Amino acid sequence: MTGRSLLTVGRFHASLTAILLVASVATSARAEEGPQRVVAAGGSAAEIVYALGQGDRLIARDTTSSYPEAVLALPDVGYVRQLSPENLIAMDPDLILAEHDAGPPETIEILTHAGVPMVTLPQALTPADVLAKIAATAEALGVPEAGAALAEKTSADFDAAAAAAASMPARPRVLFVLSLQGGRILAAGDDTSAAAMIGLAGGVNAVEGLSGYKPLTDEAAIAAAPDVILAMDRGGDLEVEASELVAQPALALTPAGQAGLVIRMDGLYLLGFGPRTGAAALELNAALRAAVEEKG
């Protein structure tokens, strides 16, 4: 090999080494910065990211992500429980931050095999669970200090809500109605975010002995004897007007129906179990107090 050839080979190896070194440094820098292209698969996931001051990292969100308003400008990858792996992979994320019920399982399996980084947040039905979601998100984004600050603020909100619930003059029976399908009441039983929120606000879930969201017979709805009916204020085709609820034959025979006592709140705010949950519990508590006073 000539001296000229040796020089050329030497330059090639030097260039290759430099390229690999730059790539290594860039990779290390990205690792230190944490993920920069994040997809939020779940309303509270997106909400926590923004509450941590990291909203600029989000590149897409699912249909249930509606707060804060800025998140609505992001591409929508579909409903959290019916996600398409093609849609998600096409976003080229370096992290998918997913609610516990994100799916379907086939999509999660495909994403796992494709090597797409994913963090699944724990299910939340208690204040401690919410704090765990915040901590998991902060860790995934590499912002522990912001996570600690948000956890402290969220804990204070929960403490205020607990004090308000403890001072309730009476604990009203609350029936959460998810929808009226064909005249049938789909209500919240035990082990639901609605039941958990009712308890945080100082009420009693009127549906007993059922787990999950279940259709009620007219007899069961009447026997539940709610003092207050609670529903989501969500708009669209699934919107249930207060007048529809109290006019439903079985509900019309309950104390809530006869008094026309219906409370409606934004769905994510009420049931998302994110950083605003303590504030939502306080707001619901105030509404329940007003209902109890109105009932006399």
pLDDT tens across 163-206, in order? 999 999 899 999 999 998 788 999 999 999 999 999 999 999 99
Least reliable range by pLDDT among 25-29, 64-68, 114-118, 237-241: 25-29
> Which residue carries 């997106």 as its tokens?
46
* SS3 call for 270: helix
User: Which of the 8 DSSP states describes residue 276?
Assistant: T
Please state which of the four CATH numbers 3.40.640.10, 3.40.50.1980, 3.40.50.1010, 3.30.70.260 is assigned to the domain occupying 168-295.
3.40.50.1980
The answer to whether residue 12 scores a pLDDT higher than 50 is no
The answer to whether residue 3 scores a pLDDT higher than 60 is no
Quote the pLDDT of residue 182. Answer: 80
DSSP secondary structure, 117-167, as one string: -EEEPPP-SSHHHHHHHHHHHHHHHT-HHHHHHHHHHHHHHHHHHHHHHHT
Q: What pLDDT digit, counting tens, does each position of 131-149 carry?
A: 999 999 999 999 999 999 9
Neighbours of 286 (CB within 10 A): 12
Q: What values do phi and psi take at 76, rounded to 5?
A: -100, 120
CA dist 187 and 175 (Å) reads: 7
- 228-250 as b/e: b if 16+ CB within 10 A: bbbbbebeeeeebeeeebbebeb
Closest to 295 measured CA to CA, from 264, 260, 265, 263: 260
Q: What pLDDT digit, counting tens, does each position of 33-68 carry?
A: 689 999 999 999 999 999 999 999 999 999 999 999
Q: What values do phi and psi take at 8, rounded to 5?
A: -65, -45
User: Which of the 8 DSSP states describes residue 266?
Assistant: -
CA dist 184 and 177 (Å) reads: 10
CA dist 125 and 149 (Å) reads: 21
Quote the pLDDT of residue 121. Answer: 98
Quote the pLDDT of residue 28. Answer: 39
What residues have CB less than 8 Å from 137, skipping those under 6 apart? 45, 48, 49, 52, 97, 119, 121, 147
Q: What pLDDT digit, counting tens, does each position of 222-235 carry?
A: 999 999 999 998 66
User: pTM of the prediction?
Assistant: 0.86
Q: What pLDDT digit, counting tens, does each position of 237-293 carry?
A: 556 788 889 999 999 999 999 999 999 999 999 999 999 999 999 999 999 999 888
The residues spanned by each domain of the chain are: 38-162, 168-295
Quote the pLDDT of residue 115. Answer: 95
Q: Name the amino acid, one letter, at 254.
A: T
Of the chain, the percentage scoring pLDDT greater than 70 comes to 86
CA dist 178 and 188 (Å) reads: 7
The answer to whether residue 22 scores a pLDDT higher than 70 is no
**38-162: CATH number:** 3.40.50.1980
Quote the pLDDT of residue 94. Answer: 96
Q: What is the mean pLDDT of the chain?
A: 89
Whole-angstrom CA distances from 106 to 19, 82, 94, 231 are 38, 10, 20, 32
Q: Confirm whether 38-162 and 168-295 share one CATH topology.
A: yes
Closest to 189 measured CA to CA, from 206, 210, 219: 210
Half-sphere exposure of 291 (CA within 13 A, CB side): 29
Higher-pLDDT residue of 106, 291 = 106
Q: What pLDDT digit, counting tens, does each position of 74-97 carry?
A: 999 999 999 999 999 999 999 999
